[in-house]
Chains A and B, each alone.
Chain A
Amino acid sequence: MEKTFVPRITSFLCTWCSYTGADLAGTGRMQYPTAIIPIKVMCSSRVDPVFILKAYLKGSDGVFLGGCHPGDCHYEVGNYHTRRRFAIVKKIFESLGLEAERLRLSWISASEGPKFARVANEFTEKIIEMGENEAKKKIFL
């Protein structure tokens, strides 16, 4: 029997908002798939485009980036920079013929546990639909 596909979604979460939001999803016992593996960073702006690319090429089936809502960044403007960089990364993915749909950026505040769970569910579902990330087998750096 074929093994069911359990995706691995590298999830960079900022300490202040989205990580805390994810904690809240747990505290509220909201159910979401285990594909999401959180990697905590101080600010979403710490995750540079190259790192997103690396996470993808190394075989993450999805790369998720969570930050504070615009205007609410703990570091004031970090998430604005994240937003711009993320837009660039998506463009780069498209122009390289990589699957930009495997990337997702969401603003999740510290009080949005339900939103974290919803996004985690949606994104995992989408990644399962897309299947395994083939890039890791094709590209060597």
Chain B
Amino acid sequence: MKAKVGVYVCECGPNISEKVDIDKILETLPGLEEYREIELVVKRFGLLCSGDGKTFLEDEINNNGLTHLVLGACSPRDHDKTFIGVCKKTSLNPFLYKIINIREHCAWIISDKDKATEKAITYIRAGINRVLFQSALLEKKLDINPDVLIIGGGIAGMEAALSLAARDRTVYLVEKDDHLGGKAVLLGGLLPRQGGGPAKIREKIESVLGNDMIKVYLESELEGVIGFLGNFEVIVGSPGDEEKKDLKVGAIIVATGSGLADPAILEGLDYSKTDEVITSMDAERMFSKEGKISLKSGGDPKSVALIHCVGREEKGYCSRICCNYMIKIAGYLKDQSADMKVTEFHRGLCLPDKADQGFQKEAEGRGVEFKRVRELTITGTNVRYEGMDGKSEGLKFDMVILAPALEPSEGTEGMADLLGVPLSESGYYQEIHQTTNPVATSIEGVFVVGAAHSPKGITDSMLFAQASAGKILSQLIPGGKITPEIKVSEILEAYCTGCGNCLDVCVYGAIYYDEGRGISVVNEAVCRGCGNCFGSCPSGALRTKHFTNTQLYEEMREAIR
């Protein structure tokens, strides 16, 4: 049977009709019939995207028994969906239709009407030639599981769990320690010290433990993951316990928190457990347990140096939260003894939140000294520094408290490997886009929140957790289905040599190696259809649906004929 291609050129009001000679297009195109052995129906219409236009197209498809449809109109970004909708009302598969953008690419780019018309003809011809080689594709719908696995029971993990449980999602909260609350529960006080403090964190822990929708697994770890958004199967186990739990979830939230850099990375610093140099976390725990900060040798310190930015240069990023909490620690010390000499050595303060600067001014008012320095070395509790004026000076303190840089928590690499989520240069998980999509990762259905994402305080950790819960609640609706991408890649078994190039270039982990058959296989539910694997395949085994070599080749061939 001859293909019967309907070609309709939209006037788009004056937009196309005044700039392109539509009648000439209509006269020229039928020349293709013989060349391609096809039958053409070629017409013009005022405004195809209007109600009348859509009815017109629907009737044309039905009455003429069109096998393919090509529209010379506007940008697919404007009305591709409109015309796909028209196709869906008829028997014509939407993948056998193509819109050719003769408005943005012909009518509007050149004032010479002949040239614009010539390009429009070429462009439409190329489109006709492509559409002839397109295949009908069918949409698939998959059932989804709305439950969620959360790895890490710190403040971010707990917040996400509570948000999801509030909408009746079953949440599996896996924590490797023997308690919930992560680092936040160890703190002596929370900013801005307006009361509540650690009790607020303990309240959250109680809410999580008391929630029937949240199943908490302490001293447990994620051991295996397979699947994709809506359909993950995970294995959770405890070290030393033979029995594993197999869970089915629709999404995974990584909330594994942050670690602290080893202060030994600060050059010239003699950090050891014996002298009076401690980290901010040591100070927090001490304050939390004893209500004050004491010397290791006993007694209260009379002078304390607080050192900011320990390891910032080595790490290559600002840890965001240290300036704030160091001022908070200065507050603990001033509460302890108003006469104590407290000096903060910093490299420029990072105080981004609305209350922060007032907080710093308040500390200054209480006699906390802020010294901005260029260079700094610490020997024992002696601090030698070069100020901004270039002058060097040495000061002796009873105690030194360090603010080490935050760093990816232990086990991040292994976890990233398990989940297939890439890591960024900093060693933290790589999000889809730092600014516009910070919680999602390249593995659809896997989210990274809290300090596992990047250095973060409690406020931001909570926000990220809530953001991920929002994404999951809107993506995975109980009883709902997801429509996976149809224009995916596939691998032809007969051609595949199993070289694995495609596995290496796929950031979505959509391709796996089938040992039994010795070939690579695409998981169509995970593939996003970018076609990068195609570009990497040396044996011609890959096919990207709706963007096959033949389709692009025929389009190109006609475009340059």
A interface with B by C-beta (< 8 Å): 6, 8, 10, 20, 22-23, 25-27, 29-34, 36-43, 45-49, 51, 54-55, 58-61, 74-78, 81-82, 85, 117
Partner of B529, one of A33, A42, A54, A60: A42
Q: A39-B552, A42-B487 are in contact. Are A78 and B532 (CB under 8 A)?
A: yes
Q: Pick out which of these stretches binds chain A: B105-113, B198-206, B230-238.
A: B105-113
| A48 (CB) vs chain B CBs: closest residue | B535
Cβ contact within 8 Å between A45 and B507: no
Measured between beta carbons, the chain A residues less than 8 angstroms from B536 are 48, 81
Which residues between 410 and 433 of chain B lie within 8 Å of chain A, taking CB atoms?
A: 422, 430, 432
Chain B positions 513 through 540: 1 when the CB is less than 8 Å from some CB of chain A, otherwise 0: 0000000000000001111101111000
* Assembly CA distance A43 to B489 (angstroms): 13
The 6 closest A-B pairs by CB, nearest first: A26-B104, A46-B531, A34-B119, A45-B532, A75-B530, A43-B530
A-B contact count (CB 8 A): 125
A97 to chain B, nearest CB (A): 22
Measured between beta carbons, the chain A residues less than 8 angstroms from B557 are 58
A127 to chain B, nearest CB (A): 12
A-B contact pairs, 10 of them (CB 8 A): A8-B560, A23-B101, A33-B110, A34-B110, A42-B544, A45-B505, A46-B530, A46-B531, A54-B553, A81-B532
Cβ contact within 8 Å between B505 and A81: yes
- Interface magnitude class on chain B: 35 or more
| B98 (CB) vs chain A CBs: closest residue | A40
* Assembly CA distance A81 to B504 (angstroms): 11
Measured between beta carbons, the chain B residues less than 8 angstroms from A77 are 505, 507, 532
| A24 (CB) vs chain B CBs: closest residue | B104
- Cβ of B547 < 8 Å from any Cβ of A? yes
Cβ contact within 8 Å between B108 and A26: yes
Q: A26-B109, A30-B109, A41-B552 are in contact. Are A46 and B560 (CB under 8 A)?
A: no
Cβ contact within 8 Å between B549 and A51: yes
Q: A8-B560, A34-B118 are in contact. Are A51 and B552 (CB under 8 A)?
A: yes
Measured between beta carbons, the chain A residues less than 8 angstroms from B559 are 8, 10, 37, 39
B interface with A by C-beta (< 8 Å): 75-77, 101, 103-111, 115-116, 118-119, 122-123, 126, 422, 430, 432, 442, 487, 505, 507, 528-532, 534-537, 544, 547, 549, 552-553, 555-557, 559-560
Say what secondary structure dominates the interface of chain B. Answer: helix
Partner of A76, one of B101, B109, B126, B432: B432
Measured between beta carbons, the chain B residues less than 8 angstroms from A41 are 531, 547, 552
* Assembly CA distance A34 to B110 (angstroms): 8
Cβ contact within 8 Å between A55 and B532: no
* Assembly CA distance A58 to B249 (angstroms): 51
Q: A51-B549, A75-B528 are in contact. Are A37 and B560 (CB under 8 A)?
A: yes
Q: A37-B119, A37-B560 are in contact. Are A31 and B531 (CB under 8 A)?
A: no
| B537 (CB) vs chain A CBs: closest residue | A48
Cβ contact within 8 Å between B555 and A39: yes
* Assembly CA distance A51 to B551 (angstroms): 12
Cβ contact within 8 Å between B77 and A23: yes
Cβ contact within 8 Å between B556 and A10: yes
A121 to chain B, nearest CB (A): 10
* Assembly CA distance A48 to B111 (angstroms): 35
Cβ contact within 8 Å between B560 and A48: no
Cβ contact within 8 Å between B123 and A45: no
Cβ contact within 8 Å between B75 and A23: yes
